[in-house]
Amino acid sequence: MNTDITVHTWAELQEALFHDSFDERLGRFRSAYVYRGLSDVAYTLKTSLMRLGGNFEALEGHLLRNFKKYARRDLYTQQNNSVWNWLALAQHYGLPTRLLDWTYSPYVALHFATAEMNKYDTDGVIWCVNYVKTNELLPHRLKYLLLDEGSNIFTAEMLQNACHTIKDFDTLQRNLFVVFLEPPSLDERIVNQYALFSLMSNPATMLDEWLQQHSSLFFRIIIPAALKWEIRDKLDQANITERVLFPGLDGLSTWLRRHYSPKGQTG
């Protein structure tokens, strides 16, 4: 099954971004997809933990344990002391974890697919995953939690009710599965990026390889390099920029540097 949609114009891109977004039950356009934009179509859905290399699976617990041990206590309180809150916090601050960043916003994903000027000669991609359908493959305990909450996405508190440790999570069922976890609003960056994380039940499993085995759960939008400048300029005009998505002087500087760079400059 071909899961790729290649777009050639801004209009085609809009159709693809909101593909299959109408919810017949609600009679509303409420998409069941989450999005991840990458500047290079060849990039995989490799986690930061995988990028450590070596026996990275064995390092996961050590990394998180030491992060908790050395983190300033005012970053988090005892009321939020679940492993899932700590994992989200660690990912947010750059610790290698099994989590991957996603967004509910197709335009935020489009930003990340077009933000790197040194990739403007390379096709980009947006991964679009139906999180309602992925839930159909969850263990019964997690399905029940979602049903009981009337939700399609997990919070740290919900996962804590089913699994107190990562090891508990990994052993819920033999078949692999993915969970989408919405983090607490740690700062403006999380809020503005409309962010959430994916979490595989085995840290060594590549999400893209798992998705290829379940092709009805996702599609990809291929963004030709020739379209990137038009997309970037229109996103900037729509205020989808680093100034908004990365509040602070670093985000502001990144946006201004690109905004005033001449077309054709790729570095």
pLDDT at residue 37, rounded to an integer: 98
Predicted confidence band of residue 267 (pLDDT cuts 50, 70, 90):
low
Residue type, position 31, single letter: S
Q: What is the pLDDT of residues 112-159, one digit of tens each?
A: 999 999 999 999 999 999 999 999 999 999 999 999 999 999 999 999
Q: Is the pLDDT of residue 78 over 50?
A: no
Predicted confidence band of residue 80 (pLDDT cuts 50, 70, 90):
low
Q: What are phi and psi of 37, to 5 degrees?
A: -95, 135
Is the separation of the CB atoms in 162 and 142 below 8 Å? yes
Closest by CA to 200, choosing from 111, 138, 249, 149, is 138
Q: What is the pLDDT of residues 240-250, one digit of tens each?
A: 999 999 999 99
Outline where DSSP puts E strands in the chain: 4-6, 22-23, 28-29, 33-38, 100-103, 124-130, 154-155, 178-182, 195-200, 218-223
Q: Is the pLDDT of residue 69 over 90?
A: no
Torsion sign (Cα): 259, 260, 262, 267: negative
DSSP 192-250: HTTEEEEEESSTT--HHHHHHTSGGGEEEEEE-GGGHHHHHHHHHHTT-SHHHHSTTHH
Q: What is the pLDDT of residues 6-65, one digit of tens each?
A: 999 999 999 999 999 988 888 999 999 999 999 999 999 999 999 999 999 999 999 999
Is the separation of the CB atoms in 182 and 154 below 8 Å? yes
SS3 184: coil
pLDDT at residue 81, rounded to an integer: 76
pLDDT at residue 266, rounded to an integer: 56
Q: Is the pLDDT of residue 82 over 50?
A: yes
How far is 68 from 61, CA to CA, in rounded Å?
11
Percent above pLDDT 70 for the chain: 95
User: Mean of the pLDDT values across residues 196-206?
Assistant: 96
Is the separation of the CB atoms in 38 and 112 below 8 Å? yes
DSSP 183: P
How far is 84 from 105, CA to CA, in rounded Å?
23
